[in-house]
Amino acid sequence: MVMMHSGAASASPGVDAGGGRRPDGPPAGVLALIALGLTTAAVVMPLAMSRSVFPSPAVPADEVATYLTGNGRAVTLAGFFTFGASVPVGIYSATIYARLVRLGVRVPGPNIAFFGGISASVLLAAAGLLTWSLAGSAVGVPSAVLRLLVDLVFALGGIGFVGGLGLLMAGVAVPALILRLVPRWLAWVGLGLAVASEVSFLGLLWWGFDLLLPLGRFAGLLWLAAVGFVLPRTRHDVSTRPERRR
């Protein structure tokens, strides 16, 4: 059962006691699109400059050292865009949490979404800053140490970020599905992406599961953008929707 916020008897959710509409925060859909654009730039721009992708843990240590020492500018941009993407992810999490609470959701979903989104933001920010630091300090560092740092970047900005993003998607998709806040097919897609994102952590043990990371990262952010645009702002918006045929 959905419970609503207490307030003045004459005030509707999303409207303050004085009759004005409460600030809704930044547009969630736009925030997710910005995060998607910056995340894509973190991959595409270094690839265009260096003609090779940022090394993964599967790459030998000597090749890691060669890439980092020979493509300092590309590594700098990878770190810059990665850190930049972490900011709208964090703001999106706070915004979507506030909207779900405003809609009267009183299940763990909003809290799970907020925890997952903030975790994803922090881990992605750490990965971005660490990547940026490698651009200026890789020369003279033993290749084994550089390989360890690249593994850490992968763990934070790959497995960790996508895992947190999966919790954010699940925390939004479950109450949206149960309460019919978004089209059912959209909620089910979000649940599928959330499951794929969480399963990707098995990539820490077996290579192959890491192939789910791009799905959780790019398709996940695109799904969050779609939800940000279609999720109602208030319960009034839900009640005025035309009834769907069953």
Q: What is the 3-state secondary structure (H, E, C) of 210-240?
A: HHHHHHHHHHHHHHHHHHHHHCCCCHHHHHC
Query: Residue 158's pLDDT is what?
Result: 93
Query: Is residue 229 over pLDDT 70?
Result: yes
Rg over alpha carbons for the chain, rounded to the nearest Å, is 20
Domain-located, residue 97? yes
Query: Is residue 245 over pLDDT 80?
Result: no
Domain-located, residue 43? yes
Domain-located, residue 9? no
Q: Which residue has the higher pLDDT, 9 or 225?
A: 225
CB atoms within 10 A of CB 1: 4
Domain-located, residue 7? no
Query: Is residue 122 over pLDDT 60?
Result: yes
CB atoms within 10 A of CB 73: 12
Note down the domain range covering 200: 28-233
Domain-located, residue 20? no
Q: Given pLDDT bands bounded at 50, 70 and 90, which one contains residue 1?
A: very low
Q: Which of 12-26, 72-86, 128-142 has the lowest mean pLDDT?
A: 12-26
Mean per-residue pLDDT, 195-224: 92
Query: Residue 71's pLDDT is what?
Result: 86
Query: Residue 17's pLDDT is what?
Result: 38
Query: Is residue 240 over pLDDT 60?
Result: no
How many Å apart are CA 31 and CA 173, to the nearest integer? 18
Query: Is residue 166 over pLDDT 70?
Result: yes
Q: Given pLDDT bands bounded at 50, 70 and 90, which one contains residue 207?
A: confident
DSSP 8-class letter at 157 = I
Domain-located, residue 11? no
Query: Residue 9's pLDDT is what?
Result: 33
Q: Taking all residues of the chain, what is their mean pLDDT, rounded to a whole number? A: 85
Query: Is residue 218 over pLDDT 50?
Result: yes
Q: Given pLDDT bands bounded at 50, 70 and 90, which one contains residue 210?
A: confident
Residue type, 187: A
**pLDDT (tens digit, 9 = 90+) per residue, 69-92?**
888 899 999 999 999 999 999 999
Mean per-residue pLDDT, 125-145: 89
How many Å apart are CA 69 and CA 98, to the nearest integer? 44
Q: How many domains does the chain have?
A: 1
Domain-located, residue 239? no
How many Å apart are CA 190 and CA 169, to the nearest integer? 6
Q: Which residue has the higher pLDDT, 244 or 28?
A: 28
Distant-in-sequence, close-in-space partners of 220: CB < 8 Å, separation ≥ 6: 162, 165, 166, 169, 193, 194, 197
Q: Where are the beta strands (DSSP E) in the chain?
A: none
**pLDDT (tens digit, 9 = 90+) per residue, 88-118?**
999 999 999 999 999 888 889 999 999 999 9
Cβ-based burial of 208 (10 A; exposed 0-12, middle 13-18, buried ≥19): exposed
Domain-located, residue 155? yes
Query: Is residue 175 over pLDDT 70?
Result: yes
Q: Which two tokens stand for residue 179?
A: 């309460």
Query: Residue 14's pLDDT is what?
Result: 45
